[in-house]
Each structure stands twice: as C-alpha cells, then as structure tokens.
C-alpha cells in the first residue's frame, strides 16, 4: 500500500475555476516527489490540498491508508515551507526555530539541542540571536526551512522554498535539502516551476500543465522517454528542437532536407501517418558534427554561437527552420557558414501532430 494516495483528485474553486483535474498518484514512504510545471498549472493548489489548507472538491486523499479529506492541517502530521515564509518578526532566529517545539511543551534542553543542530546544518549558528529583519533573504529562507525540519514531521511539503535565493545559494540549498531529506527520511513533496531543480532533486517528478498531470517518472525517464511534446520541451535546457510538418511519401521536410521516416516508423505507421502532421524532435546534445552511421544528415547555416565553456550552443537556420545544437567547445563553428550535422536515429523522437503524444 502506498503511503500517500491521490485518487482522482479534483479542485474546483468557488468561482467555478477547475484548477486540478483527475489527479492520480501513489507515493511511497521516503520518496522525494517534485511537482513541476509552468505558472498556474495547479502545483500549489494540489500541495495545499495535501496540507489541508484547501478542501478537495472531488476524489480521495489518503495518508498511510487513512482518508484525510476531512482532517485539518494540524491532524495530518505535516510540516511546510512556503514561498512567502512568514517568520515571527519580533522573535529571534532561535525562538523562531524553537517555536513549534515550545508549543508542544518539549523540554528546554531538548529544544536547545535540536535548535543548535538544525542551525548548524543550515549555517545559521552565528545568527541565532538576531531578529528576522536583520537577516538577508536567503538567511530568512533558511530559518523557514529550519522551522519545518525541526519538527521531524513524517511528511514535508515545500512550495518554491528557494525562490528568494540567488543562483549560487540555490545550488547550495538544493544539496542541503537533499541531505536533510536523507537524514530525516521524511516523505517530501516539493513544488517548483524550475525544471533543473526538479531534475536534480526528485526521486520522481510529476509534470503538470493546465491542471492535468502530463507524466510521472524519474528524471531519467522524463528526459529520455518523454510522453508528449510538452514534457519533451519542458525538461532540458536548451529545450528539445521540434520540426512540425506533414508526412509526404514517408518523409518530413526540414527546411530543404527530407527526413526519411522509415528509419523510425513501421510500414503500418508510415501508412497511417501519410498526409498527417508529425512533430520531429531532437535534443541539442543529440546532434553530432562528425558523420555517424544510422543518422539523419542535415544541412544548415550557422546563425550564432554561444561559448559556455563546457560546450557551445550553436543556433542554426535550416532553410527557415530554427534549431539549437550543443557541440564540443573545441569544435565551435564560424558564424554565417554552412554546416552539416547528424542526428542518430536513436536520438530522434516522433510525436503525433494532433495529440502531441510520442509515437512508439
């Protein structure tokens, strides 16, 4: 039996807006689940239903086999960190961290030990006597995380907890949160719109769009086996290149290049898709500059190059179609020159032009 069980959960707000549709998910104890998707896709709404801050319009949510739809936030044994972390402004960092334990009547000595330990993990030891207003945004966010982890809750919810940090702090906090997760073994649901955060932190990712789950899977799975055009384009930076076109004589036009789809589709599929739209996709790093066997050869023109150190992003014009490929920094091509590149068949993805689902 799964630890958290979402059964056909729907959320319809009082104004009639249907924010979450038929959300189904089973989460095992100790998993680190990330909900990811663009703004407004229903991530926070779903998280708030888990927390008990938002009622569930339809469906059932179970924790450890018990239906909790009707339970208030306090009864669910959940700790939360939100984007807008409300610290108590008149209390020191120490008291902010200690607050929930003090309320529970925990022994002063035990509180002291726990506060000091959490402060050490989060690098807050020098600031324990300060008031929140005398901290940077990043330090305040650490206090908010600390306040949640100190309770050793079984379930830990985080809604964009790193949004106020700069890029470097974010990377550090990512690994700190993972370390804490390893130590506490708490089941975690983490909400972000940042696919890199999702890829680097999650044991499984739930990709959402407009209130619907698009795909659930490990970071590896989502990257290499995307279920549809949306997931393929959302995960990965720069995103996957897409070429949309009508299938004609078993080929797809990519600029003036003709992509022979018989390398990817069966005879029956080719027949089925003749005259219909198909989306051809390949990742920037899935292209090669040197000739390889079993690959599409494509003629292009180099518009722009971006040297990033570990690789170069090459912006290409393929007779009016744009693409980006990543190449080795030592192979940086000249701008405004012609260039052939190769996409091994195994690196090419095909999607149905209408449903946008991957064609297997």
Which residue's CB is nearer to ligand ATP, number 84 or number 266? 84
Contact flag: residue 15 with ligand ATP (CB under 6 A)? yes
Q: How many CA atoms lie within 13 A of 253 on its CB side?
A: 10
Contact flag: residue 286 with ligand ATP (CB under 6 A)? no
CB of 118 to ligand ATP, least distance (A): 27
Contact flag: residue 41 with ligand ATP (CB under 6 A)? yes
Site string for ligand ATP, 162-201 (x = CB under 6 A): -------------------------------x--------
CB of 107 to ligand ATP, least distance (A): 39
Phi, psi (deg, nearest 5) at residue 180: -60, -40
Spatial distance between the Cα atoms of 308 and 251, rounded to a whole number of angstroms: 35
CB of 205 to ligand ATP, least distance (A): 14
Question: Residue 222: enclosing H or E segment and its boundaries?
Answer: helix 219-224
CB of 16 to ligand ATP, least distance (A): 8
Which CA distances in Å does 220 have to 105, 226, 227, 348?
45, 10, 13, 17
Helix axes 108-121, 167-184, angle to 10 degrees: 130
Question: Residue 63: enclosing H or E segment and its boundaries?
Answer: strand 58-63
Which residue's CB is nearer to ligand ATP, number 49 or number 222? 49
Contact flag: residue 55 with ligand ATP (CB under 6 A)? no
Contact flag: residue 337 with ligand ATP (CB under 6 A)? no
Contact flag: residue 39 with ligand ATP (CB under 6 A)? yes
CB of 286 to ligand ATP, least distance (A): 29
Among 6, 32, 45, 204, binds ligand ATP (CB under 6 A): 45
Contact flag: residue 43 with ligand ATP (CB under 6 A)? yes
Stretch that binds ligand ATP, among 35-43, 55-63, 177-185, 314-322 (CB under 6 A): 35-43
| Local structure of 157: helix, strand or coil | strand
Among 8, 17, 72, 308, binds ligand ATP (CB under 6 A): 17
Contact flag: residue 214 with ligand ATP (CB under 6 A)? no
Residues in contact with ligand ATP, counted by CB under 6 A, come to a total of: 13
Spatial distance between the Cα atoms of 138 and 159, rounded to a whole number of angstroms: 15
CB of 18 to ligand ATP, least distance (A): 9
Contacts of 40 (CB under 8 A, 6+ apart): 210
Spatial distance between the Cα atoms of 143 and 165, rounded to a whole number of angstroms: 13
CB of 210 to ligand ATP, least distance (A): 8
Task: Give the chain's largest Cα–Cα span.
Answer: 78
Cα angle value 53/171/215 (rounded, 5°): 55
Tokens, residue 197? 């955060």
DSSP state of 334: P
Spatial distance between the Cα atoms of 305 and 226, rounded to a whole number of angstroms: 28
Taking residue 261's Cβ as centre, other Cβ atoms within 10 Å add up to: 21
| Local structure of 152: helix, strand or coil | coil
Spatial distance between the Cα atoms of 85 and 82, rounded to a whole number of angstroms: 5
Contact flag: residue 13 with ligand ATP (CB under 6 A)? yes
Stretch that binds ligand ATP, among 40-48, 57-65, 74-82, 212-220 (CB under 6 A): 40-48
Stretch that binds ligand ATP, among 34-42, 163-171, 176-184, 337-345 (CB under 6 A): 34-42
Tokens, residue 202? 């999650």
Which residue's CB is nearer to ligand ATP, number 17 or number 345? 17
Contact flag: residue 209 with ligand ATP (CB under 6 A)? no
Stretch that binds ligand ATP, among 32-40, 307-315, 319-327, 347-355 (CB under 6 A): 32-40
CB of 53 to ligand ATP, least distance (A): 11
For the chain, the C-alpha Rg in angstroms (whole number) is 25
Q: Which residues bind ligand ATP (CB under 6 A)?
A: 13, 15, 17, 19, 37, 39-45, 193
């Amino acid at each position: 039996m799964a630890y958290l069980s979402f059964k056909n959960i729907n959320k319809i707000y009082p104004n009639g807006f249907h924010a979450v549709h038929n959300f189904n998910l089973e989460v095992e104890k100790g998993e680190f689940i990330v909900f990811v998707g663009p703004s407004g896709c229903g991530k926070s709404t779903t998280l708030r239903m888990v927390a008990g801050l938002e009622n569930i319009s339809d469906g059932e949510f179970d924790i450890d086999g018990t239906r909790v739809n009707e339970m208030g936030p306090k009864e669910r044994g959940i700790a939360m960190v939100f984007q807008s972390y409300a610290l108590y402004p008149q209390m020191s960092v120490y008291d902010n961290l200690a607050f929930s334990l003090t309320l529970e009547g925990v022994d002063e000595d035990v509180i002291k030990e726990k506060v000091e330990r959490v402060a050490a993990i989060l690098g807050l030891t020098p600031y324990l006597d300060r008031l929140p207003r005398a901290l940077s945004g990043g330090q305040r966010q650490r206090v908010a995380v600390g306040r949640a982890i100190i309770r050793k809750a079984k379930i830990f919810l985080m809604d964009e907890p790193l949004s106020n940090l700069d890029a470097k702090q974010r990377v550090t906090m990512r690994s700190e949160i993972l370390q804490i997760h390893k130590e506490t073994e708490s089941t975690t649901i983490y909400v972000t719109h940042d696919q890199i955060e999702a890829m680097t932190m999650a044991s499984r990712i739930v990709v959402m769009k407009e209130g619907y789950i698009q795909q659930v899977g490990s970071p590896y799975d989502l990257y290499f086996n995307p279920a549809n055009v949306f997931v393929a384009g959302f995960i990965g930076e720069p995103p996957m290149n897409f070429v949309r076109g009508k299938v004609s004589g078993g080929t797809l036009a990519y600029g003036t290049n003709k992509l022979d789809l018989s390398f990817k589709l069966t005879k029956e599929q080719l027949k089925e898709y003749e005259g219909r739209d198909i989306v051809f996709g390949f990742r920037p790093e899935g292209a090669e500059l040197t000739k390889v066997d079993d690959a599409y050869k494509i003629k292009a023109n180099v518009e722009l190059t971006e040297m990033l150190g570990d690789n170069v992003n090459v912006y290409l014009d393929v007779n009016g179609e744009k693409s980006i490929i990543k190449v080795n920094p030592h192979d940086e091509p000249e701008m405004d020159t012609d260039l052939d590149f190769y996409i091994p068949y195994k690196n090419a993805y095909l999607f149905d032009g209408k449903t946008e689902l991957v064609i297997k």
